[in-house]
Structures are given as C-alpha cells and as structure tokens.
Amino acid sequence: MSNPVDERSAGEIKAALQSNNQALAFAKIKECLKKANNTPLNIAVTGESGSGKSSFVNGFRGVDDSEENAAPTGCVETTTQVTRYPHPSYPNVTLWDLPGIGTMKFPASQYLTHVGFEKYDFFIIISETRFRENDVLLAKEIGRMGKKFYFARSKVDNDLQAMKRSKKNVNEKEILDQIKRNCIQGLQNAGVASPKVFLVSRFDLHLYDFPLLQQTLEEELPQHKRDVLLFAMPNISLEVINKKKKVFQDQISVYALMSAGGAVVPIPGASVGLDLTLYVSVTIQYMAGFGLDDGSLKRLSASSGVPLANLKSVIASPLALAKITPALISKLLLACTSTAALLAAEEGFRFIPIIGTAVAATLSYKVTESALQTFLDMLAGDAQRVFKKALGVDSSV
C-alpha cells in the first residue's frame, strides 16, 4: 500500500498545526496528496509494423481510437518515431508507442539505445500473428539489459470470428489455447526461456488474457509502482474495482490522523476547515481512481458505445453527479444526524481545558474515518454499476 504521507511530511504537518498555521497545514496536505499521485510509470509498447501497438496504447489508456489525443491507428505503419501518450487521468503514467523494430535499420541493441531504453519500467512486445525474429532479438536484448518484457498476441477476437465463419461448431477455449501454445512454442524454439504470452483484444479488455496481464504486471512491479499501475488501469473487472477500493481504504487511517491533529488547534472553525479541504481532495482522488469523473465517463461511453446518459443513469451517489466542493461535502455530512452530532461535540470539546483537545482529536478521527469510508463505499458502488452498464449487464442481478 502506498502511503500518501511520509514521516517527514507528517512531522511538518504536525508542526504547522501546533503553531496554529492553518494555511501551511492545508498546503502540506495538498502537497502530500499530489506527491502520492506523481510516482512515474513508463510503459514501452513495441513490435513489428501493423501489429496493433497504437490500438493497445489507446485501449490501456481507456481512449477511443477516434479521439483527438488517441494514438493514430491504421492498416499501415503509423508510428515512425517514439511517441509519448500520457494517461488522461494520471499524467504521471505514460505509454510510449515505439516504432516497429522491423521498420528501422538498427540491430536490437541499437534500437533500444535509439528509443531511450533506460526510461521504461517494462516492455510489452505485440504481434498480431506469430512472434518473429525481430521480436525475439528484441526480447533477448531487453532481458540482457535487466528489464522485464511481456508478449501480447493481439487481435485474437479477429481469429475467433474468422474460425466461426469457416466452421459451425467452434470451441473458443480450444482455439485460444492453441494460439497461446503455438506462440509459446515458437518463442521457446527461438531461445526465449519461459516466455510470458498474453492473448488480448483492444476492444474487449475484460476478456481473454488482459486481466491476467494486469495481475502479472502488478505482482512483478516494485511496490511503490503497483498502486500507480492499478489506478491507471481501466476498470476491466469488478475485482480491479475492489482492489482500488482496498488501497483507498488502507489510506483512510492516515487521513484520519491528519484530521485528529487539526482538532487540537484552538481556533473556531479551524478543524472543520481543515477536514473539508481534506475530504474534497481525497474524494476527487476516489472519483479519478474509479473512473467516475466526467472525462473518464465520456471516454468510457465512446469506447463502449453506451450513451453517456445511460452510464450516468446507474450512478446513485450525489458525489459522482456534481462538482466536489466543501459546500457539497458539508451538506452530505450534516445530512447524517450522527455525524452532525459528532462534529458539534468536537467543536465544543476543543475549548475545554486539559482534556478537551484529546477528546476533540478522538472525535475528529472518528468523523473523518466514518465520512471517508462512507464516500468510498458510495463511489465504489457507483463504479461497479457503471462497469456493468458498460458491458450490458443487468445491475440488479
């Protein structure tokens, strides 16, 4: 779990609160939240000309091929130079569309130097048929230089459709198993030990091996990069949504401690102001992570073909249908009788000598813990319903 506040930052926040510098405490909290979302992750996507690299880049980013910021796709080679494609919601995550090695007059070692090998966290090598000599040479060179690589066999949906047109009774699992076996056998014969091959379709990321690819990347990345990958991933399954929720859930105690620290400041309204700033920042993170912000929903509508209004129709939380502001958060908190009572008690206890601040800090911790858990539950539920709606699944089932 990536902690949004390191020990040094926690000390700075505490010192600011103790010196009654509310503005500095707010600024430090915002800085911590921003820093937690800025760990870089650079993914290189390569392969031979026409293998589907650009489509994969778009699918991974949740972007439709027709969008303005999409990687250009086509029947001919469309990538002639290293091209950077930041994630639309997490700009610290970048997919790099590399020219096909078969289109450049470089040996594999020189190709890697040319494309800036050192900046990538891992490589995904894509082929639409079988992996060829250039793919193997590139994989061996990447491995020799100490980095991870994965093989993605693209457009498997096209293979299945072709088989269905030529045969009446088609066992999809058998066909997919055969495609994977052939890919693995070919790579092993060419000298690649234990190749990791994943069957993918740009238009059906929730099918085939893309979820397994996501799981494998998550397991093999360094700890501080895992959550970065998870939140940049499109919601390809309910399991991914639940994983995101778990990471957010594990961070709530840190935010609650921040809130408790602010409760000791003997200035009317200071604790409430600090908490509202915190709630707004964290809730916006939840929205982005679950793909419920307006930009993410529009991209999902474009890629899934489900009208935006239909996706929004299953959203139950007021948080996901309005701009997140202190006023909205305050309204939701005060609508809950028990939370409103705790807030009033916290404000009163802070001005009681000796024991008052300790009680206020405890109450503030409980209010923040409860509020963020409630908001998280709301938005995770919305994300699950939107995911099912995008797939055409009845959410009531």
User: Do residues 353 and 207 touch, judged by C-beta distance below 8 A?
Assistant: no
On the question of pLDDT at 338 being above 80, the answer is: no
pLDDT of residue 359: 52
pLDDT of residue 20: 66
On the question of pLDDT at 395 being above 60, the answer is: no
Percent of the chain with pLDDT over 90: 41
Average pLDDT over residues 163-182: 87
The Cα–Cα gap between 264 and 268 comes to: 11
pLDDT of residue 22: 61
**Other CB atoms closer than 10 Å to residue 340's CB: what's the count?**
13
Q: What single string gives the DSSP state of each residue in 6-21?
A: -HHHHHHHHHHHHTT-
Q: What single string gives the DSSP state of each residue in 130-178?
A: S--HHHHHHHHHHHHTT-EEEEEE--HHHHHHHHHHH-SS--HHHHHHH
List the one residue out of 144, 170, 149, 169 whose CA is nearest residue 159: 170
Comparing 164 with 86, the larger pLDDT belongs to 86
pLDDT of residue 100: 76
Burial class (CB in 10 A: 0-12, 13-18, 19+), 327: exposed
Domain boundaries, the chain: 7-36+235-391, 41-232
The Cα–Cα gap between 143 and 164 comes to: 38
On the question of pLDDT at 253 being above 50, the answer is: yes
Flag the least confident range among 259-263, 313-317, 371-375: 259-263
**pTM of the predicted protein model:** 0.81
The encoded tokens of residue 254 equal: 């840190």
Looking at this protein, which amino acid is placed at residue 141?
A: E
User: What does pLDDT average to over the chain?
Assistant: 82
pLDDT of residue 279: 87
On the question of pLDDT at 166 being above 70, the answer is: yes
The Cα–Cα gap between 53 and 22 comes to: 49
pLDDT of residue 148: 95
Average pLDDT over residues 92-100: 91
Q: What is the pLDDT of residues 120-135, one digit of tens each?
A: 999 999 998 889 888 9
On the question of pLDDT at 322 being above 50, the answer is: yes
Comparing 264 with 355, the larger pLDDT belongs to 264
Cα angle 87, 93, 97 (rounded to 5 degrees) comes to: 75
Average pLDDT over residues 198-226: 91
Greatest mean pLDDT range, 15-24, 65-74, 369-378, 386-395: 369-378
Comparing 78 with 137, the larger pLDDT belongs to 137
CATH 3.40.50.300 fits 41-232, yes or no: yes
pLDDT band at 308 (very low <50, low <70, confident <90, very high): very high
